[in-house]
């Protein structure tokens, strides 16, 4: 079994700087785990600790049935794909892919078989004689992935491998990585700051913030039921609307009972608003909004609106092209099942 277990793993740098705080994650054999969060949240540090490139201050890491805390990277049976590809510029694609196997004194015939098989999977067989300088960014990333594949590791580690590619190529490579991981069935841990990339790749999505895990689970669970306002605001493009509720309540909020007590924050996804004419309803949320800006992206339009004309700003998603103009006053409604409530002080979700 090539499962990965992180048990209360922590990292403290000199001066008491706590980069990773007692993180526990269990990644089953063959699953794709994505660590996502803003810059400085500790996700790359955590990945490097799994790889053995950073020492562990506390806790333990287990790969399969082996505790690997004190093992060198070469002894952990992992393969890592870096952001900058890390190819040897003077070597051909073939030699870049074969280099690690030669260092392990793998038989020549086996090296040939593994390199050719990886090249076939990645569709780079016609590039084997080229040097990295003659390759595009996407081709270099495929070579870096091929070098990892030929190792036949227990675990793949990806450190923001697509961040240097243009938008179109990122989408293409994202799909290729997902297909490749599914085909090979190798347990994988992937770091990114791109929440869309994280949502589309992950079997297990781990949202990190300030060195700790805010929430983990299937991507759609985090999208539909965020545990904190941080997750609600980070996952989703555009993010969930978060509106602090005033002491007297938000005019237009018509629930028989608002969950929890004390000061609350109301959350609602842009796509869960509906624009309607007066007199329809009743609805759990029924508010007037004034459009301040419009963002048309082809298949959908995002309306940036002020609640009540001068209140908090929210985003309303409209399918397709919209004829609405800036300055228009509209009626936006939403159903109770699509409303989320969070403690205003802690940011933690209020139980439904």
Question: What value does the mean pLDDT take over residues 202-229?
Answer: 97
Residue 256: pLDDT above 60? no
Question: What value does the mean pLDDT take over residues 294-321?
Answer: 90
pLDDT value for 38: 93
Higher pLDDT, 252 or 236: 236
What 3-state DSSP class applies to 332?
strand
Residue with tokens 């063959």: 30
Lowest mean pLDDT, pick from 7-16, 54-63, 146-155, 252-261? 252-261
Q: Which domains does the chain have, with CATH numbers?
A: 4-229 (3.40.50.300), 239-343 (2.40.50.140)
Residue with tokens 């938000």: 250
Count CB-CB contacts under 10 A for residue 186.
22
Question: What value does the mean pLDDT take over residues 214-220?
Answer: 97
Average pLDDT, the chain: 91
* 8 Å CB contact between 333 and 286: yes
- Can you give the pTM of this predicted structure? 0.90
Q: Which two tokens stand for residue 53?
A: 């490139």
Instruction: Report the alpha-carbon distance of residue 235 to residue 144 in Å, rounded.
Output: 29
Residue 218: pLDDT above 90? yes
pLDDT value for 166: 84
Residue 280: pLDDT above 80? no
């Amino acid at each position: 079994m090539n499962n990965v277990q992180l048990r209360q793993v922590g990292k403290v740098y000199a001066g008491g700087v706590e980069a990773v705080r007692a993180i526990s994650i269990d990644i089953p054999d063959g699953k794709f785990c994505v660590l996502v969060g803003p810059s400085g949240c500790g996700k790359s540090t955590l990945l490097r600790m799994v790889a053995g490139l950073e020492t562990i201050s506390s806790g333990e890491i287990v790969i399969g049935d082996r505790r690997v805390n004190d093992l060198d990277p070469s002894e952990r049976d992992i393969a890592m794909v870096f952001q900058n590809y890390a190819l040897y510029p003077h070597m051909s694609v073939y030699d870049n892919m074969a280099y690690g196997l030669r260092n392990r004194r793998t038989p020549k015939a086996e090296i040939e078989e593994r390199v050719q098989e990886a090249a076939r999977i990645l569709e780079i067989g016609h590039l084997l004689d080229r040097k990295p300088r003659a390759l595009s960014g996407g081709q270099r990333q495929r070579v870096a992935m091929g070098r990892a594949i030929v190792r036949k590791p227990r675990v793949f580690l990806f450190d923001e491998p697509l961040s240097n590619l243009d938008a179109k190529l990122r989408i293409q490579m994202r799909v290729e990585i997902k297909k490749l991981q599914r085909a090979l069935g190798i347990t994988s841990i992937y770091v990114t700051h791109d929440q869309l990339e994280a949502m589309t790749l992950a079997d297990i999505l781990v949202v990190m913030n300030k060195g700790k895990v805010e929430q983990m689970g299937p991507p759609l669970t985090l999208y539909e039921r965020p545990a904190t306002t941080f997750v609600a605001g980070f996952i989703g493009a555009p993010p969930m609307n978060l509106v602090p509720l005033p002491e007297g309540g938000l005019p237009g909020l018509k629930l028989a009972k608002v969950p929890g007590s004390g000061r609350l924050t109301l959350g609602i996804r842009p796509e869960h608003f509906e624009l309607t004419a007066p007199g329809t309803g009743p609805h759990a949320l029924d508010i007037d909004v004034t459009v301040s800006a419009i963002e048309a992206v082809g298949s959908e339009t995002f309306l940036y609106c002020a609640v009540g004309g001068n209140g908090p700003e929210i985003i309303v998603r409209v399918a397709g092209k919209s004829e609405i103009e800036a300055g228009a006053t509209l009626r936006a409604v939403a159903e109770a099942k699509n409303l989320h409530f969070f403690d205003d002080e802690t940011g933690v979700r209020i139980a439904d």
